[in-house]
Structure formats: structure tokens, C-alpha cells
Amino acid sequence: MFVLPISYFGPVSYYATLFGADSVVIEACEHYVKQTLRNRCLIATHTGAQTLSINVQKGAQPKIPISEVQLSDHGNWMHQHLYSLATYYGNSPFYEFYIDEIREVMQHGHDGSLFGLNEALRRKMCELIGFEPHVRYSEQWMGVTDFPMLANAEPYYQVATDEGRLPFQPDMSILDLLFNMGPESILVLKKQAEKMNIGQ
């Protein structure tokens, strides 16, 4: 069993864990932790990884429960994130197939909280990839277990490497995998889970 934090378009290793684990607990009772996968993700660009960070309302200090953290419109971050996705993934093979559903969840498919947004996006990403993990929420603080990192990443096609001179960029946001590989994303997750020794 893995205890995972919420994540904003979590990395490939996060979704490989969701795919391969027999059961996963999402930590719903922890305190907010700034500048982590809870409110940021990495996307691959032709010049390297770029961080996309969610703005939350003032007062979201480390002692506030994660379930109480509310989104902020400051900086028009959602528009900026969608613009970045269009800029860096617009030419990827499957961007047009998925972006409308993703945009709908980001703009309208949640309750205005960080927890609500991230979990709505997690469910949507799993749906688009084609698997349903065995997930439940913690009812008391359990502490997040470190899920296996990608010491040995399963490579896949990245449009960013075609447009730049960079090698494969591992463990980017799940968006990178989905936009580049589409229906084959689940095969990559399966191979990655095997490499991470996470078996069903």
C-alpha cells in the first residue's frame, strides 16, 4: 500500500504508482506543504523543464490542513498554464484529443479548493489513460510514503526533444506522457511500474 499526497498533474512516477499498486491511500489529513507536487508540475519544453505553479489564497501556511487550501485567481495562473500547454504541446500528436476535457475540469470541474482541483484532475487523467486505481482517502494523518522515483525511466516520444536539442526528459507531468503518447500511455505506465518494482 502506498500513501500518496495530492498532486497537480503529477509526474509519470506518481501515475505509474497509481497504476501498479494494489491499493493507494491519498493523504487527506496532512498539512499543506508549499512548493511541492501538491501545487506544481513540470512540463517538457525545447529548452528544458518548466514549472507550472498554482496560486493559492493567502493564509495557506504549512499549518493549514490540505483540505482547507483554496485556489486564488492571483496572477491569472490558470490562463497562463493553459497557454503554456498550448505553446509547448500544441504540436504533440494527441494534444487536440484531450485538451478540451482537461480545460473543462480545470475551469469548472472542481469546488475551488486545491484538494478538489487536484483530485478532479487525477480522476480525469486516469479516465483518459484508461485505468481506475484502487484509491481511498485517509481518515486520519498517515504520513506520505515516498513512492519510488525514476532511477530507470521508461523513455517515450517527446515533441520537445524533436523541437530542441535535449535528450529525453524523464518524470515530467503526466500531461507530457498523455499529449505525446495518447492511448499508448497506459503501456508506458505498465513498463514503468515494472521497472519501479510495483506489481499488481
Assign 3-state DSSP to the chain and report helix, strand, coil percentages, each to 5: 40, 15, 45
Cβ–Cβ < 8 Å for 16, 185: no
- Interval 127-164: pLDDT, tens: 999 999 999 999 999 988 766 566 689 999 999 887 77
Can you name the residues that pair with 137 across neighbouring β-strands? 26
Of 70, 71, 72, 65, whose CA–CA distance to 32 is shortest?
A: 65
Greater confidence (183 vs 148) lies with 183
pLDDT beyond 60 at 175:
yes
Of 30, 79, 31, whose CA–CA distance to 55 is shortest?
A: 79
Task: Determine the Cα–Cα distance for residues 172 and 153; give it in Å rounded to an integer.
Answer: 11
What is the grid cell recorded at 146? 515516498
Give 60's pLDDT tier (boundaries 50, 70, 90).
Answer: low
The domain segmentation of the chain, as residue ranges, is 2-195
Greater confidence (32 vs 162) lies with 32
b/e per residue, 137-172, with b = 16+ CB within 10 A?
Answer: eeeeeeebeebbeeeebbebebbbbeeeebeebbbb
- Interval 108-124: pLDDT, tens: 999 999 999 999 999 99
Q: If 0-12 CB within 10 Å is exposed, 13-18 middle and 19+ buried, where does residue 52 land? A: buried
